[in-house]
């Protein structure tokens, strides 16, 4: 008889005694397999959602506060290399709100996306692609929120983008929102790309898609977009192809309009000026403009001029170099025009104070005051009468009256009739001039330290020729990436985000720890009891010449066979357990996963891993039980194991004081963890939960062992 045959026959002979052991192994394996299947289901669901929200898009250029021309994207798409598997699409993405026209439902914080047919997934329905003017396509989440169906009328409200950041004090604070009345044309599913979002969000994404032309007109952006999508329709595209197309696309964005810059000839003179639709010139732009003797200019709005008891409110001051100010103008000197000198009653040599808000102060509106000495008084003529020195400050530049200003902050100083008359006649012509160094020290910020750069047209060149040279030099020196026009690998980021989320498999293994531990303890006790019933059989084997090591191998082989049977039975239970968990996570406990609809996913590898892990854990449990069982003499075992307690009583007696101390330590540690967590307000801390639970379980087991030992001793 072979060793394997002996194990199989022993399993068959003792099958009634093995039922409990198999059931214990099945419970432990079911918990292991179920936890792993739940983890796989969550991971696969998150991966699918990540791919659904980016659709066909591989890379995206999505600057947070910049816009480029739609024409550049169309030109790049039209000039794709023949046979290229890639495609491009531009879109305009703006935040907003949506309400039913009757006001019965509302959704806040939605994405309003202006799109073209090129935006949608290849398998998108015709109803979604054929979006008519003044129509809107809602994704399923937004449609459910608004209880909207095709044919319903909605009102979309969006904030018009501003040229200035709202952190700048002179940025308008009025509600520059626009209402767009639309009719629901269709409902986009996730397969259509209805859940499009470049960034993972904890809750549902609310998307409203309108024709790009409609949203562009409503926002007043004049053919601009802020979203450029690059992707592929065919699997033959490679990463190298993607990088080449990225560079190809960025080349089409290398024009001044796409960089939000303008190079304009100044009226009435041989000068050319570079300005930005963003008001302040970015540092890379200033660095690129250091050719052909540039003259940077910084103009800012100050709150008040004061000289003694005389004041003049809300005026433009320009910081520049020659010829607007003397070349040797000190940083504490100022040049004022005649109108301001007369209002303040000052002359050269007198001191005046100048108060202003720090450009970086944002909502707190931090005001500073500096004192200057008047260097000269100039007439309002020639260069000092140039109203183009004031940038197109939103809320100010187009105002016909000072009473129409939206300066971005409350006008605390009263505007007099003479101030209104100055605005009517001279508009934003600066009333004072300081050195460029002084202006940058006072009004330089993270937004930039110049509002324009000017050049004198050299003799022998026409204005148009010189402008063309400047444009060529600027574009050669500027890189779109320096201005925030960078492609991001959104598909790779989405997959990385889904893979890096909470390990739900490990989490549910932790939740199942006590169940697994209890199953293993029960299984070990049943196996121990079974071995005690077979003491005479084990003694016979030893008496026949079997070594203790060979006997342990025989018993371990039986145990592993039982563990394998239990693991296979537990697999079915684990799958059912996982289904129940996923059902709970999508219904009763859906807040735990931010209302993400989970799907059930199971793989053969996960089931095999669960069974293998269950067998290994059960095998270790059997090894612990078998450590001493076959070490007893054959004579004692043939006598029914009566000598066991005597042989081991001394050892066991020495262990009980340690067990009692261990119980006290474990129970005290569990109580300490709970008290500390409550004191720190960390009652939802997973580490505290598992740590305190484990200590409580260990302490309870040790305390029970001590109590049982004492009961046995008293008996």
Of the candidate ranges 186-190, 431-435, 584-588, 654-658, the one whose mean pLDDT is the lowest: 654-658
Residue 463 pLDDT > 60: yes
The rounded distance, in Å, linking the Cα atoms of 131 and 145 is 21
3-state SS string for 277-319: CCCCCCHHHHHHCCCCCCEEEEEEEEEEEEECCEEEEEEEEEE
641 CB-near residues (< 8 Å, 6+ apart): 532, 535, 632
pLDDT 10s digits, 635-684: 666 666 544 444 444 444 444 557 788 888 888 888 888 888 888 877 66
Helices (H), 512-547: 513-533, 535-543
Taking the C-alpha atoms of residue 79 and residue 95, their distance in angstroms, rounded to an integer, is: 32
| Angle ∠(518,599,55) on CA atoms, nearest 5 | 140
Q: Which residue has the tokens 């260990």?
A: 698
Share of the chain above pLDDT 70, in %: 82
**What's the rounded mean pLDDT across residues 624-634?**
65
Task: Tell me the C-alpha distance between 614 and 606, whole Å.
Answer: 12
CA distances from 223 to 65, 112, 258, 281, 394 (A): 16, 16, 11, 22, 19
For the chain, what is the largest distance between any 2 Cα atoms, rounded to a whole number of angstroms? 125
Average the pLDDT over 148-174 and give the result.
83
Residues 137-171: b if buried by 16+ CB within 10 A, e if exposed = bbbbbbbebbebeeebebebebeebbbbbeebbbb
Q: What is each CA distance from 478 to 259, 261, 285, 645, in whole angstroms?
A: 9, 12, 7, 88
State how far the alpha carbon of 397 is from the alpha carbons of 317, 394, 402, 407, in Å. 15, 6, 10, 10
Q: Please state, in angstroms and as integers, the Cα–Cα distance from residue 524 to each residue in 28, 465, 621, 622, following that order.
A: 12, 92, 6, 7
Asked if the bond preceding 323 is cis, omega within 30° of 0, the reply is yes
Reported as a single tens digit per residue, the pLDDT across 26-51 is 777 777 777 778 777 777 888 888 88
In three-state secondary structure terms, 614 is: helix
Q: What is the DSSP letter of 498?
A: H
* pLDDT(187) > 60: yes
Q: 369 to each of 347, 349, 680, how far by Cα in Å?
A: 20, 19, 46
Tokens of 500: 């890096």
Using pLDDT thresholds of 50, 70 and 90, give the confidence band for residue 6: low
**pTM of the predicted protein model:** 0.72
For the stretch 209-227, pLDDT in tens is 999 999 999 998 888 899 9
Whether the predicted pLDDT of 587 surpasses 80: no
Q: 258 versus 137: which is more confidently predicted?
A: 137
Q: Are 540 and 45 contacting, i.e. CB atoms less than 8 angstroms apart?
A: no
Tens of pLDDT, residue by residue over 547-558, are: 777 777 777 777
* pLDDT, position 185: 96
Rounded to whole angstroms, how far apart are CA atoms 701 and 688?
20
Q: What DSSP line would sit under 83-95, residue for residue?
A: T-SEEEEEEEEEE
The three-class DSSP label of residue 453 is strand
- Residue 396 Ramachandran class (φ > 0 left, ψ -120 to 50 alpha, else beta): alpha
Least confident of 106-120, 152-166, 202-216: 152-166
Q: With left for phi above 0 and alpha for psi between -120 and 50, is residue 185 left, alpha or beta? A: alpha
Strand partners, 135: 183
| pLDDT tens-digit readout, 278-297 | 899 999 999 999 988 899 99
CA separation for the pair 299, 390 (Å, rounded): 6
Contact criterion met (CB below 8 Å) for 292 and 455: yes
pLDDT in the model for residue 245: 63
The pair of three-digit structure tokens given for residue 580, joined into one six-digit string: 């129940």
Model confidence at 433, pLDDT cuts 50, 70, 90, reads: very high
The 3-class SS string of 57-82 reads: EEEEECCCCCCEEHHHHHHHHHCCCC
Sign of the alpha-carbon dihedral angle for 559, 562, 563, 564: positive
* Contact status, residue 138 vs residue 187, Cβ threshold 8 Å: yes
Q: How many Å separate Cα 506 from the centre of its chain? A: 23
Q: Could you write out the three-class secondary structure of 96-147?
A: EEEEECCCCCEEEEEEEEEECHHHCCCCCCHHHHCCCCCEEEEEHHHHHHHC
Q: Which of 172, 160, 158 is nearest to 394 (CA)?
A: 172
> Which of 115-119, 200-204, 653-657 is least confident?
653-657
State how far the Cα of 471 lies from the Cα of 279, in Å rounded to an integer.
Answer: 19
> pLDDT tens for residues 151-162?
999 999 998 887
**Contact at 8 Å (CB) between 380 and 391?**
no
pLDDT number for residue 645: 43
The pLDDT-based confidence of 360 (bands split at 50, 70, 90) is confident
Rg over alpha carbons for the chain, rounded to the nearest Å, is 39
Pairing relation of β-strands 432-435 and 333-337?
A: antiparallel
Look up residue 259 and give its two tokens: 């960089």
Structure tokens given for 483? 């201005």
What tokens appear for 405 in the block?
């200003």
| Mean pLDDT confidence for 261-270 | 86
The answer to whether the beta carbons of residues 207 and 110 sit under 8 Å apart is yes
Query: Can you read off the two tokens belonging to residue 615?
Result: 């067998």
323-326: long-range contacts at Cβ-Cβ below 8 A with a sequence spacing of 24 or more? 323/383, 324/297, 324/383, 324/384, 324/433, 325/433, 325/434, 325/435, 326/375, 326/376
Calculate mean pLDDT across residues 304-315: 96
Half-sphere CA count of 602, side-chain side, radius 13 A: 20
pLDDT at 600: 77
pLDDT band with cut points at 50, 70 and 90 for residue 17? low
Report d(CA 467, CA 465) in Å as an integer. Answer: 5
Whether residue 224 contacts residue 67, with contact meaning beta carbons closer than 8 Å, is answered with yes
Average pLDDT over residues 465-491: 88
More confident residue, 651 or 228: 228
- What are the tens digits of pLDDT across the range 494-533? 888 777 655 555 666 666 666 666 666 666 666 667 666 6
Residue 304 neighbours by CB distance under 10 Å? 17
CA distance linking residue 133 with residue 122, whole number of Å: 22
Measure the CA–CA gap between 184 and 172, rounded to whole angstroms. 33
- Which of the pair, 682 or 440, is modelled with greater confidence? 440
Residues 397, 586: Cα–Cα separation, whole Å: 55
Cβ(208)–Cβ(156) below 8 Å: yes
């Amino acid at each position: 008889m072979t060793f394997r045959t002996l194990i199989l026959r022993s399993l068959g002979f003792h099958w009634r005694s093995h039922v409990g052991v198999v059931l214990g192994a099945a419970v432990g394996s079911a918990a292991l397999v179920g936890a792993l299947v739940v983890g796989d289901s969550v991971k696969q669901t998150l991966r699918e959602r990540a791919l659904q929200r980016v659709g066909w898009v591989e890379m995206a250029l999505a600057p947070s506060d910049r816009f480029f021309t739609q024409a550049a994207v169309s030109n790049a798409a039209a000039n794709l290399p023949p046979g290229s598997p890639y495609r491009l699409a531009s879109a305009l993405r703006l935040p907003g709100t949506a309400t039913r026209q009757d006001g019965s439902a509302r959704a806040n914080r939605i994405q309003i996306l202006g799109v073209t047919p090129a935006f949608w997934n290849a398998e998108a329905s015709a109803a979604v692609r054929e979006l008519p003017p003044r129509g809107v396509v809602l994704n399923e989440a937004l449609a459910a929120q608004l209880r909207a169906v095709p044919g319903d009328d909605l009102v979309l409200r969006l904030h018009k983008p501003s040229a200035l950041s709202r952190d700048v004090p002179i940025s308008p604070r009025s509600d520059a929102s626009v209402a767009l009345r639309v009719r629901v044309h269709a409902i986009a599913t996730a397969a259509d790309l209805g859940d499009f979002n470049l960034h993972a969000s904890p809750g549902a994404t609310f998307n409203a898609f309108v024709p790009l032309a409609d949203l562009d007109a409503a926002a007043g952006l004049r053919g601009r977009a802020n979203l450029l999508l690059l992707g592929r329709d065919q699997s033959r595209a490679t990463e190298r192809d993607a990088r080449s197309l990225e560079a190809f696309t960025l080349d089409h964005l290398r024009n001044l309009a796409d960089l939000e810059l303008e190079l304009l000839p100044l009226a009435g003179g041989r000068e050319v000026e570079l300005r930005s639709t963003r008001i302040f010139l970015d540092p890379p732009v200033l660095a690129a403009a250091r050719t052909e003797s540039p003259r940077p200019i910084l103009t800012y709005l100050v709150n008040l001029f004061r000289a003694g008891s005389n004041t003049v409110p809300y005026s433009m001051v320009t910081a520049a170099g020659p010829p607007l100010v003397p070349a040797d103008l000190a940083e504490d000197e100022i040049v004022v025009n005649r109108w301001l000198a007369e209002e303040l009653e000052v002359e050269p040599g007198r001191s005046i104070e100048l108060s202003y808000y720090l450009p970086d102060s944002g909502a707190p509106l931090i005001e500073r005051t500096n004192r200057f000495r008047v260097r000269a008084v100039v007439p309002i003529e020639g260069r000092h009468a140039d109203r183009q020195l004031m940038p197109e400050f939103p809320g100010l530049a187009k105002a016909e009256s000072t009473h129409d200003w939206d300066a971005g902050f409350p006008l605390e100083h009263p505007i007099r009739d003479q101030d209104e008359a100055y605005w009517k006649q001279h508009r934003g012509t600066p009333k004072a001039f300081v050195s460029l160094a002084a202006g940058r020290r006072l009004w330089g910020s993270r937004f930039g330290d110049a509002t324009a750069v000017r050049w004198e047209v050299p003799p022998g060149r026409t204005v148009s020729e010189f402008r063309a040279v400047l444009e060529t030099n600027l574009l050669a020196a500027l890189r779109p990436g320096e201005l925030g026009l960078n492609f991001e690998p959104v598909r790779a980021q989405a997959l990385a985000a889904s893979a890096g989320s909470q390990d739900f498999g490990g989490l549910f293994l932790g939740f199942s720890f006590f169940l697994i531990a209890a199953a293993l303890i029960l299984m070990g006790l049943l196996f121990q009891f079974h071995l005690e019933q077979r003491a005479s059989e084990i003694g016979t084997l030893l008496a026949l010449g079997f070594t203790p090591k060979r006997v342990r191998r025989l018993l371990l082989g039986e145990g592993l066979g039982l563990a394998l049977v239990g693991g296979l039975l537990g697999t079915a239970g684990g799958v059912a357990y996982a289904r129940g968990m996923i059902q709970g996570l999508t219904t009763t406990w859906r807040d735990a996963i931010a209302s993400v609809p989970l799907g059930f996913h199971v793989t053969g590898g996960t089931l095999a891993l669960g069974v293998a892990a269950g067998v290994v854990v059960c095998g270790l449990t059997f090894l612990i039980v078998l450590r001493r069982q076959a070490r007893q003499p054959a004579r004692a075992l043939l006598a029914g194991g009566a000598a066991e307690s005597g042989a081991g009583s001394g050892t066991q007696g020495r262990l009980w004081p340690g067990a009692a101390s261990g119980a006290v330590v474990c129970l005290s540690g569990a109580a300490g963890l709970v008290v500390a967590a409550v004191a720190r307000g960390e009652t939802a801390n997973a580490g505290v939960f598992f740590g305190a639970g484990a200590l409580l379980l260990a302490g309870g087991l040790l305390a029970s062992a001590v109590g049982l030992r004492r009961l046995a001793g008293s008996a």
